[in-house]
């Protein structure tokens, strides 16, 4: 994909996520795997709200297999097992940042870490994905070449 195509996808994901949030829906499992692009290059979000519904029925955590995109607050342990905090739109925004990182670097967050358990430890310690600095520089260059010219 060209950088223009990548930015278009990110803009569409932003619009779709904003639409969900305006309707009071938190996606809860926003990852690159849930971004679908059809043959006409239309961007669609899949699985929105499914995670919260499944967690509600099972009484367990919202986090399943996508710890690399999960917001740090989703790893917090509730004081009692009955009180699972509701998902918030801020968690989707964090996950979108991880998607941006993946789109711009071509690698998922914490790509150099093999185990999801190790990723959780890094997140709990407040460690950012290692590619974040290169993505920041790339965003700066894109902004100056695409927007300012």
Just list the catalytic residues.
Answer: 29
CA atoms within 13 A on the CB side of 65: 3
Q: Tens of pLDDT along the chain (149 residues)?
A: 888 888 899 999 999 999 999 999 888 889 988 899 999 989 988 876 554 444 444 444 455 568 899 888 888 777 776 666 677 899 999 999 999 989 888 889 999 999 999 999 999 898 888 766 666 777 667 666 665 55
* pTM greater than the 0.85 cutoff: no
Q: Give me the domains of the chain, ranges plus CATH numbers.
A: 3-146 (1.10.510.10)
**Pure H helices in the chain:** 3-22, 50-58, 89-105, 116-124, 132-142
| Start-to-end CA span in the chain (Å) | 21
Instruction: Please state the length of the chain.
Output: 149
């Amino acid at each position: 994909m060209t950088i223009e195509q990548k930015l278009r996808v990110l803009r569409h994901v932003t619009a779709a996520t904003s639409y969900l949030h305006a309707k009071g829906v938190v996606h809860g499992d926003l990852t690159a795997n849930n971004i679908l692009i059809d043959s006409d290059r239309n961007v669609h979000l899949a699985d929105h709200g499914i995670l919260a519904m499944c967690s509600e029925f099972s009484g367990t955590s919202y986090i399943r297999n996508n710890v690399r995109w999960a917001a740090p607050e989703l790893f917090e342990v509730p004081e009692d097992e009955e009180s699972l905090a509701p998902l918030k739109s801020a968690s989707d925004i964090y996950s979108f940042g991880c998607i941006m990182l993946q789109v711009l670097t071509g690698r998922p967050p914490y790509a150099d870490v093999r185990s999801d358990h190790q990723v959780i430890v890094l997140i709990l310690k407040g460690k950012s994905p290692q590619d974040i600095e290169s993505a920041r520089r790339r965003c700066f260059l894109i902004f100056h070449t695409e927007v300012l010219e």
